[in-house]
Amino acid sequence: MKNYIEKFKKDNEFKIIVEFAFLQFFFWSTWSIYGAYLVYYLGDIGYSNMRIGLMTSLRTFTGLIGPPVIGYLCDKIENRRKVFMLSMFIMALVITPFTFYGDLMIIIAIGMVGFLWEPQQSVLDSWILETSLNTADNYGFMRAWGSIGYAFTVTLFGHIIEKFGWQFHFAGYGIYVLMLLITAYSIKDNSYMRVKAKRQKLKKEGKELKSSDKNILRLFKNKEYIFILFIILLIFIPAMMVFVYLAPIIKSVGGDSTDLGYTLFFNALSEAPIFFAAKYFLKRFKTKTLLLFSASAYLLRIVIAAVAVSPTYMLFFGMMQSLSFGVFLVTVRYYVQKVAPDELKTTAQSIALMAGFGAGGIIASLLGGYLIDNFGLDIMLRAAIILSTAAILVLILSIIMDRVDFNKANSTNR
């Protein structure tokens, strides 16, 4: 321990990595308090599944608007830290008194949090990926601490709900955000150094950055970027159908908030080993192969939820998070970082995640709520299996087409 403390004091790169690891820890801990238990809370205060679906759809709808706005704001003022800290502070003011809200205030709060929360994942990850080559290479290590924080906190607060109630639960959100803000304040934002260096170079040449360099439309002219958006949507719709309604699924097999907490504990903790090993498997396998692996793992998770007859099954559901979301996230993050222009990195990352948690989340929430209320959980889970299988087939077809094109190109060059 003494050696690590000395290294922290003397090695600035190591210090930055440790600080970002703490930031990820507190960031994902805050989401475990609010996001993991929101559906459970709404159910406890008497909301129907369809109404919960509409509420979560509101969050995901405003989450569609937030990423391009917040991402573009970061790229415009060229400071991710300021936007990140302000957003988290506002969310703390909104979420901490959540139990005192009536129906209208709950709607407003959910909408505001959706707008602010969705982009922050990409703002933080872009901050890490763009700070230096060293932080980019160690992104998986830092993100793993986010999973550990989520796992620890979601388990702790599952017990807090049972023993102390919801008021104490949501108050904990404000405490965690305070620790997050203290950590974020200690980290200097150097993530726009390449853009600033480019501007200085052009200035010496008597030129300026073109306004079109920060035009969002640049992203939608990139075929590789469009493909990633499409695949994200295909994978996330069935996955989110199950995850949004995880609480009622666990209740249907005899579980309670403690079982939900344990499921989410394994869900988050299982991500850590994959994130720690991220830079190794990214070098060995192609993007589409990793996405196919991830999609297959998602299908297996849904099957586990469909055949579950006790809360124990859902622990295995949680453990599959590493092979599904863990592989998926690091693959998409690194891929987008490579194909997006420097001037629009945060915007590109925000929109990519928006495709899944935003557009995919809206469809999943509404479709899932409708199917549960009108046909039951079993039908909803069967629909999710069919949609997940479709995502796998599309990826297989895409890989086959790539190999055919590769073989044609080789034969032409001979």
Give residue limits of the domains in the chain. Answer: 9-198+216-413
One-letter amino acid for residue 108 of the chain: I
Is-contact 121 353, C-beta < 8 A? Answer: yes
Is-contact 238 387, C-beta < 8 A? Answer: yes
Can you tell me the mean pLDDT for 124-134?
A: 84
Can you tell me the mean pLDDT for 28-34?
A: 91
Region for 51 from its dihedrals, namely left if φ exceeds 0, alpha if ψ lies in -120 to 50, beta otherwise: alpha
% residues pLDDT > 90 (the chain): 23
Calpha distance 290→328 (Å, rounded): 7
pLDDT for res 117: 87
Sign of the alpha-carbon torsion through 311, 314, 315, 316: positive
Q: CA-CA distances (angstroms) from residue 219 to 67, 80, 105, 260?
A: 14, 20, 36, 39
DSSP secondary structure string for all residues of 116-154: HHHHHHHHHHHHHHHH-HHHHHTHHHHHHHHHHHHHHHH
* Per-residue DSSP letter, 414: -
Calpha distance 34→153 (Å, rounded): 11
Q: What are phi and psi of 308, to 5 degrees?
A: -60, 135
Chain centroid to CA 148: how far? 15
* Per-residue DSSP letter, 285: S
Calpha distance 23→185 (Å, rounded): 10
CATH code of 9-198+216-413, in short, is 1.20.1250.20
Mean pLDDT estimate for the chain: 83
Three-state secondary structure call for residue 380: helix
Does residue 269 carry a pLDDT above 80? no
Residue range 223-262, pLDDT digits in tens: 888 888 888 888 988 988 888 888 788 888 888 777 877 7
Can you tell me the mean pLDDT for 324-333?
A: 85
Note if the pTM is more than 0.85: no
pLDDT for res 414: 58
Residue range 162-182, pLDDT digits in tens: 888 899 999 999 999 999 999
Is-contact 27 124, C-beta < 8 A? Answer: yes
Is-contact 62 112, C-beta < 8 A? Answer: yes
Residue range 361-373, pLDDT digits in tens: 778 878 888 888 8
Is-contact 354 114, C-beta < 8 A? Answer: no
Calpha distance 270→322 (Å, rounded): 5
* Radius of gyration of the chain, Cα coordinates, nearest whole angstrom: 21
% residues pLDDT > 70 (the chain): 91
Residue range 189-218, pLDDT digits in tens: 887 777 777 767 766 766 665 655 666 777
Is-contact 174 292, C-beta < 8 A? Answer: no
Calpha distance 272→323 (Å, rounded): 11
Does residue 4 carry a pLDDT above 50? no
Does residue 15 carry a pLDDT above 90? no
pLDDT for res 330: 83
Can you tell me the mean pLDDT for 91-103?
A: 93
